Amino acid sequence: MKEKISIIMPVFNEEKGIAGVIRDIKNTLVSCNYEYEIIVVDDGSTDQSVKMALKEGAKVITNKRNKGYGASIMTGIKNSDGEFVAIIDGDGSYAAKDLLNLTRHIKENDMVVGARTKPGINEPFLRRIDKFFLKKLASYLIEMKIPDLNSGLRIMRRDRLSEFLRILPKGYSLTTTVTLLFLNSDFNVEFIPIDYKKRRGKSKIRPVHDTLIFMQLIIRTVIYFNPLKVFLPVSIFLFASAIFILFYSRFIMGRVMDITTIVLIVASLQLLATGMIADLIIRRTK
């Protein structure tokens, strides 16, 4: 009996692309070595997205109100039964042929991510800058190069993913969180280069707001696994700043700024102690 892939598609007002995406998946995955189901989770759409998805034969689950990208994916997971879970956007930016390619690599991995690293991919310049700095921050914190931090095209083993369902966020940062959780857990993760086309319809991403959320999520997730990686550099920076101020005020200004120096040293020691305690707690609970 073939293993099954549950393809989860979170949708919010994607009437311009959803029908084509579903047809593309059904036409392409006929050569797939797995059974599959397509589950569209409508996140309170006000257009014809639901009607079009039903017409194309997809299973549709409707949220009565807009709950968020991550919440919709989790709803889809809870209403699916495949051994593997795939996610893909309904805006036409990801190709079904790339999803098919990912299925060929999932047997030997816990997660396969479609990495938007091919030359000439269609992505706004500002988004590229945001993603560059976010990838650099995440790669530094987990000490591993990450080709694509938040790709919306990936396949995961259900049993691995289910370990983290209780801590996954409800917004767009879900994909970033899943990437970091799998890598920090030493699961087998493979990144496969894919195409990324111009989306159909209007993007729901808020560049500044979502970038700040992603940064917060990256730091929080790393603290969850390796708190010293965050606390130690900040502690060293504060201690070095205290020493610099001490010498600068003594030899350049002619007076010692002792209060500022003491505050910075105490703050650095407190951060170091907090990081070490958190690290001990995590190691004892593993």
Q: If you write DSSP's letter for every residue of the chain in order, what string do you get?
A: ---EEEEEEEESS-TTTHHHHHHHHHHHGGG-SSEEEEEEEE-S--SSHHHHHHHTT-EEEE-SS---HHHHHHHHHHT---SEEEE--SSS-S-HHHHHHHHTTSTT-SEEEEE--STT----HHHHHHHHHHHHHHHHHHTS--S-SS-S-EEEEHHHHTTSGGG--SSTTHHHHHHHHHHHTT--EEEEE---PPPSS-----HHHHHHHHHHHHHHHHHHH-THHHHHHHHHHHHHHHHHHHHHHHHTSSS--HHHHHHHHHHHHHHHHHHHHHHHHHHHH-
Lowest mean pLDDT among 131-140, 147-156, 189-198: 131-140
| pLDDT (mean) for 77-91 | 94
pTM: 0.78
Alpha-carbon gap, residue 176 to 192, rounded angstroms = 16
Out of 28-32, 81-85, 234-238, which region has the weakest mean confidence (pLDDT)?
Answer: 28-32
Higher per-residue confidence, 107 vs 173? 107
Per-residue confidence (pLDDT) for residue 249, from 0 to 100: 82
> Whole-angstrom distance between the N-terminal and C-terminal Cα of the chain?
36
Residue 46 reports pLDDT greater than 80: yes
Lowest-confidence range among 50-54, 57-61, 100-104, 165-169? 165-169
Spatial separation of the C-alpha atoms in residues 153 and 40, rounded to whole Å: 15
Predicted pLDDT at 187: 95
- Which band of pLDDT confidence, cut at 50, 70 and 90, is reported for residue 153? very high
141 vs 230: CA distance, rounded Å: 7
User: What pLDDT does 199 receive?
Assistant: 67
The answer to whether residue 126 scores a pLDDT higher than 60 is no
Question: What does the alpha-carbon distance between residue 33 and residue 139 come to, in Å, rounded to a whole number?
Answer: 34
Mean per-residue pLDDT, 205-216: 68
Residue 267's closest CA among 219, 234, 225? 234
pLDDT value for 253: 72
Select from 11, 153, 154, 5 the least CA-distant residue to 69: 11
Residue 60 has a pLDDT of: 95
Q: What is the mean pLDDT of residues 84-91?
A: 94
pLDDT value at residue 128? 66
